Amino acid sequence: MKKLIRLLFVAPLILIILTSCALPFTSSPTETVLATPSLVSTALELSVQTDASALTAVGQIIKYTYTVKNAGASAVTGSVAVTGAVCPDLTSVGNMDANFDVGETFTCTSEYVVTQADLDKGAVVTTSAASVSGINSNEVVATVSKALPIVLTLSKTAAPATFNQAGEIITYTYVILNSGASALGPDQFVVTDAAFSAPINCGNAAASLAATATLTCSAIYTITQADVDAGSVSTSATASGGGAAASSPASVTLTKGTLVSPTNSTLTAGSTIQHKVVSGEWVWQIARCYGADTAKVVQANSQLTDPGYIEPDTIITVPNIGGVSKIYGPPCIATHTVQVGDTWQSIALKYNADVTVLQVVNKNILSVGQALIVPLNSVGVAPPVVK
């Protein structure tokens, strides 16, 4: 019984002593752990270029160039490695030290020999990444595909093919031919022409082009003052679509002409001349051609039963030339064959003709292939009476 009482008395005492001894450890400072410097501040960028635009044959050598850049915020030390490539020692490039400094670039190279299996597959695909001391770059996938056969043929024409002034309208017409043995599409076939800022859609968005079939489309080009100053306009175009390679370029050159019927300086203003009628001429246009008064020309030719219709080779008298307007002199009319894209306005502008007179003379009929009678230099002239 006495032993139990002593034990009960001593146990708390021992506990107090042990607790007192432990107190100094609870107040000791926290241990500081020095972390290993982080490599995250160094970022590698990889880009890959090849010297081949397409696979062509077995044995073809494709050369790859890999450019590694330290795009991070700190330098890194170590060897630069790129998947499957041969890289020089770091000390042999840049500033020739062992550090891959911020902004510094590093180039590695490799070569690949094309096999028959590559041609059968249709492409050589490589995946590359760079690394320095455990830091990895972005992955780059480089694909060199088998060259597509050129089965699209493009033809390009212009109407008209000459111009004289700014504002004239030129119509380019494009014909895309599938010269291959298989159908192409459905797809949106397009023409890319240097004359225009945007591609030209040819056919609808789901057009199919059978073997030997064609698609036709057109675009309007307006002559600029720069074109007039240059004296010519030369542009080329290519066609693409249907999964085929782009066509070979098709080019057209527009040339600057001269206005028909310049002023005839050999004629003397105020004089009277004898004019031999050409088929298609009428008194009003002949008078205008010489700058003469129409009424006086009619009066001087009382032998004419109908001034609106004169037989070819008839001789008429034209008094006081240049009395009312500028003398142009013969030819007084021209013939123009209507082409695709021609308008009354574009034809009139080309020949310095009055649009209304041009329309009246041709009974307002305008169709491709038609031969129009053009009243040269008739701007401002009252239209004739045509029966």
**64 occurs within a structural domain:** yes
Report the SS3 class of residue 285.
helix
Determine the average pLDDT of the residues in 86-104: 84
368 with 277, same domain?
Answer: yes
Judge whether 166 lies within some domain.
yes
C-alpha 20/C-alpha 14 separation (Å) is: 10
One-letter identity of residue 335? T
Identify whether 261 is part of a domain.
Answer: no
- What SS3 state is found at 17? helix
More confident residue, 301 or 5: 301
Question: What per-residue confidence (pLDDT) applies to 14?
Answer: 46
Answer yes or no: do 215 and 140 share one domain.
Answer: no
Last residue of a domain, one of 226, 256, 286: 256
CATH number at residue 296: 3.10.350.10
d(CA 187, CA 154): 17
Is the same domain home to 190 and 125?
no
Beta strands across the sheet bearing 135-136: 80-82, 130-132, 135-136
**Domain assignment of residue 26, yes or no:** no
Q: How confident is the model at residue 381 (pLDDT cuts 50, 70, 90)?
A: low
**211 Cα distance to chain centroid:** 27
Residue 102 CB-half CA count within 13 A:
6
Report the DSSP beta bridge partners of residue 105. Answer: 69
Q: Are 353 and 379 in contact (CB under 8 A)?
A: yes
- Reported as a single tens digit per residue, the pLDDT across 7-48 is 444 455 444 444 444 444 333 333 323 333 334 456 899 999
Position 21 scores a pLDDT of: 45
Q: What pLDDT is recorded for position 42?
A: 67
Burial 10-31 (b: 16+ CB within 10 A, else e): eeeeeeeeeeeeeeeeeeeeee
- Which tokens hold the place of 155? 């033809």
Instruction: Give the burial class of 374: count Cβ atoms within 10 A of its Cβ; 0-12 exposed, 13-18 middle, 19 or more buried.
Output: buried
Domain ranges, residue 288: 273-375
If one compares 386 and 224, the residue with the highest pLDDT of the two is 224
| Cα dihedral across residues 308, 311, 317, 319: positive or negative | positive
Query: CA Rg, the chain, in Å?
Result: 44
Please tell me the predicted confidence (pLDDT) of residue 200: 95
Q: How confident is the model at residue 111 (pLDDT cuts 50, 70, 90)?
A: very high
Count of structural domains, the chain = 3
End-to-end CA distance of the chain: 154
Does residue 228 belong to any structural domain of this protein? Answer: yes
pLDDT at 40: 45
pLDDT in tens, 53-66: 888 889 999 999 99
Are 279 and 364 part of one and the same domain? yes
Cβ neighbours of 62 (radius 10 Å): 18
What residues contact residue 228 under an 8 Å CB cut-off, 6+ apart?
163, 164, 165, 166, 256
Average pLDDT of the residues in 342-362? 88
Q: Residue 253: is its pLDDT beyond 80?
A: yes
pLDDT surpasses 80 at 248? yes
Task: pLDDT band for 347, please (50, 70, 90 cuts).
Answer: confident
pLDDT at site 67: 94
